[in-house]
Amino acid sequence: MFTFSCPVSFSITCSSSNGNIQNHGDYRVNINVNGSSCTRRPIKHHTLLNEVDVKEGSTSLSAIQFLENGHISEEKIRQRIPRQKQLVDPYRQGLITERGVGYRQTVVVRSYEVGPDKTATLESLLNLFQETALNHMWMSGLLSNGFGATHGMMRNNLIWVVSRMHVQVDHYPIWGEVIEIDTWVGASGKNGMRRDWVIRSQASGSTYARATSTWVMMNEQTRRLSKMPDEVRDEISPWFIQKQAINEAVPDKIVKLDDKAKHVNSDLKPKRSDLDMNQHVNNVKYVRWMLETIPDKFLERHQLSSIILEYRRECGSSEVVQSLCQPDEDESFANGVQQNLLTNKVLVGGNGRLGSLDINVLTYGYTHLLQTQNEEIVRGRTRWNRKICTGL
């Protein structure tokens, strides 16, 4: 049978049958899977759990169970979560920036992250935002075993939930392109945290997309919002930056749709694969439900330029969701642009191309709502530009 040898540093307390503590110390342990050998020897106190080196030998990972300020299992040994701040992460192509508190990750756009036009999808960008945020926490040394939760949050049974997100996209990365994603955090009121992102082309340095979001804390057991404990504020406040990717002096309010919405998609049911580590539907899935309600013909000819999401409550695995969508049909175009331009009946320039026409005049808007039978889940607002074509 294939086995592993795993020398591990941890704190162990031995007690007698009457509960009196007999010994306490730090040890390096070698465990044989069949129980034939078990050796212990003291180690220095500064040895960290993330220094564990799993080697081929006599110990099975599945047999490892330890205690260090609580339960430490196989999961932590496999993850190797840093217990101290790291400046460079070669595995994730990440490094700490902004004088020690920001984070930058270099990413290659994968084939499964693009659509039929070979450009990254909005869902892919949102997933990259989420991943870089978690990697930022990873390198900070604050990450516990929760979904982005700090050690103080885990002690208080708290998790992060997003309350608002705003994404602006000027250009979508293409398949195989190398991009850089910067992310940082800041204060949002007394009990919230703001997280921002900027995506740039590594080749040209051009900014492709910006995003800002607001996060609050929820009690994992009661599923109710919670105030930020002082110990959590003390953990994360040294990382705060007074900088915003999107300047929102007065955030736009999104109106609530009713049953008269033009497009409706009912009986949406979450799948097991839609749940995240906090056991609720991932926010990227919400966006997919919204966009799928928009007519296909519109999606074929237009590209999303911005999206604002206002989250009202979490969605569980057993709930049935309805997606409502209402276009801004009364919105007029600027500069007297004719409607027939949108149906490809007008040529601008002698070569059949759009030429120097400002594509921003071809902007549409949609209002969205995801809800259960009785409660709102998330309101949304999307803006769309006409796709730029090289010819007609």
Over range 266-295, report the average pLDDT.
88
| Confidence at 21, pLDDT banded by 50, 70, 90 | very low
**C-alpha–C-alpha distance, residues 308 and 306, integer Å:** 7
Q: Is the pLDDT of residue 293 over 70?
A: yes
Query: What phi and psi, each to the nearest 5 degrees, are found at residue 137?
Result: -65, -40
DSSP, collapsed to helix, strand or coil, labels residue 231 as helix
Pick the most confident of 11-15, 336-340, 368-372, 388-392: 368-372
- How far is C-alpha 50 from the geometric centre of its chain's CA atoms? 24
pLDDT for residue 291? 95
Identify the DSSP state of 313.
S
pLDDT digit string, tens, across residues 309-334? 999 998 888 899 999 999 997 544 33
**Which tokens belong to 359?**
């594509």
Tell me if 193 sits within 8 A of 215, measured CB to CB: yes
Structural domains of the chain ordered from first start: 78-251 (3.10.129.10), 252-329+362-391 (3.10.129.10)
**C-alpha–C-alpha distance, residues 88 and 90, integer Å:** 6
Active-site positions read 278, 280, 315
